[in-house]
Amino acid sequence: MSRRWEPVAAICTVAVVGLVTGLTVPLVSLRLSGGGAAAALIGAAAALPAVGILAAVLCLGPLTWRWRIKPLLVVGMAGSAVSTGLLAVTGSVPVLLVLRFAVGVFAGLLLVLGETWINAITAEATRGRWIAVYTSVFTLCQVSGPGLLALFGSAAQWSLVVAVLTHVPGIALLVVSSCEIDGFKAGKPIASLRFARSAPTIALAVLMFSFFDSAVLALLPLYGIAHGHTEAIAVLMVGAVFAGDALLQVPLGWWADHVDRRRLHLGCAVVVLLLALGMPVLLGVSVLMWPALVVLGAAAGGVYTLGLVRIGQDFTDDELVDANAGATVLWALGSLVGPLIGSAALNLLPPDGLMLALAAVTALFLTAAVADFRARAPLSR
């Protein structure tokens, strides 16, 4: 395969992760609930993929010293397909939990290696656009998971069959790709977090968006209902946010290739902060609510997209692997704490606690971003 087509193969890795996680998280929750499982067990099952991602990052150093990226990606794809497929043939709760953990492990491998690969092989002049396509595909596939579940139902196995079959073109593209990355070695697990100290703005960008992504998916319907909307409208609110995230990243990526990326990063966060603070008013005016939700998703997604772009801009070789591993750790942590903090804020500060929590997390990122912006002169893209 020509090297210029390798970003397409890299994007297939995140497509698989998005679809599998978007499908299996609600699917397993529904099956456990239907079987009479306690809420605590359902919550633990929902957290297991994030635990699996953390485990994958811990194992990444030894794996990258022994193997090159291509066999690791193939193993990640194959393992994801097998663990997803086995969900269709088991009703055992312990086995379901093990498979949820396994899905997280293979997702962690694919996320770290896929993001490292696409950042390593894209040119600086077009990195923003490629990363934007990468994150847009992830969001679209993540939203497609619940769509498959709604189409086939939680009792039918066809949604899992479709998810398994989507691995086939990804594996085929990997087989014909060279997957060569110069200096491909990860450090010890602690090295994966060093980038958070050297690039706190990027680290907080990842943490902020993972908080946003998990909290909005879990709690925005409750927030909408608390403001007097019907359940159907509240669910559509989530769709509007993720539509903005998915559809507007490519224009943002193009913009990032033509302007100062730190200015754009700041701008996206300012938009998120203003919309989070203004959402209690905007939700009462439908003609403003829907555009605001779309722009909120686009701006929050832009914070993450530009974080990944800046990882590729600022890190190379083995540092790039460690930075992407650290970003994946922060993603998992944000995904774990997002619903917890968001739900606590909803209970403590009804009905607007969710948006106040999002505003607080965004303000934390903005503080670091402004300090970084002032510290670096002259400006560079």
Q: Which carries the bigger pLDDT value, residue 97 or residue 193?
A: 97
Q: Are residues 108 and 212 in the same domain?
A: no
pLDDT of residue 340 exceeding 70, the answer is yes
Q: Are residues 34 and 161 in the same domain?
A: yes
The domain that contains 82 carries what CATH number?
1.20.1250.20
Q: Are residues 337 and 205 in the same domain?
A: yes
Confidence band (pLDDT; 50, 70, 90) for 305?
very high
pLDDT of residue 237 exceeding 60, the answer is yes
Domain with 29 in it = 1-183
Burial degree of 357 (CB within 10 A; 0-12, 13-18, 19+)? buried
> Cα separation of 19 and 203, whole Å?
25
Confidence band (pLDDT; 50, 70, 90) for 326?
confident
Q: Are residues 256 and 178 in the same domain?
A: no
Distances (CA, A) of 317 to 6, 119, 219: 18, 10, 39
Q: Are 136 and 247 in contact (CB under 8 A)?
A: yes
pLDDT tens digits along 176-212 = 887 766 555 555 554 556 777 778 899 999 999 999 9
Q: Are residues 155 and 192 in the same domain?
A: no
Tokens representing 182 are 């110069």
pLDDT on residue 287: 94
pLDDT of residue 338 exceeding 90, the answer is no
Q: Are residues 246 and 230 in the same domain?
A: yes
**163-177, 229-243, 357-371: segment of lowest average pLDDT:** 229-243
Across the range 2-19, mean pLDDT stands at 82
Q: Are residues 157 and 105 in the same domain?
A: yes
| End-of-domain residue from the set 183, 218, 251 | 183
Question: For the chain, what percent of residues have pLDDT higher than 90?
Answer: 34
Q: Are residues 226 and 162 in the same domain?
A: no
Across the range 39-50, mean pLDDT stands at 76
Q: How many structural domains compose the chain?
A: 2
| End-of-domain residue from the set 183, 209, 239 | 183
Across the range 299-318, mean pLDDT stands at 88
Question: For the chain, what percent of residues have pLDDT higher than 70?
Answer: 92
Q: Are residues 250 and 351 in the same domain?
A: yes
Across the range 203-224, mean pLDDT stands at 88
Q: Are residues 2 and 78 in the same domain?
A: yes
pLDDT tens digits along 368-378 = 999 888 887 55
CB burial readout 209-244, b (16+ within 10 A) else e: bbbbbbbbbbbbbbbbbbbebeeeebebbbbbbbbb
pLDDT tens digits along 163-175 = 999 999 989 988 8
pLDDT on residue 380: 46
Q: Which carries the bigger pLDDT value, residue 60 or residue 169?
A: 169
Q: Are residues 105 and 153 in the same domain?
A: yes
pLDDT on residue 2: 55
Q: Are residues 128 and 217 in the same domain?
A: no
pLDDT on residue 16: 92
| End-of-domain residue from the set 183, 209, 232 | 183
Across the range 293-319, mean pLDDT stands at 90
pLDDT of residue 314 exceeding 60, the answer is yes
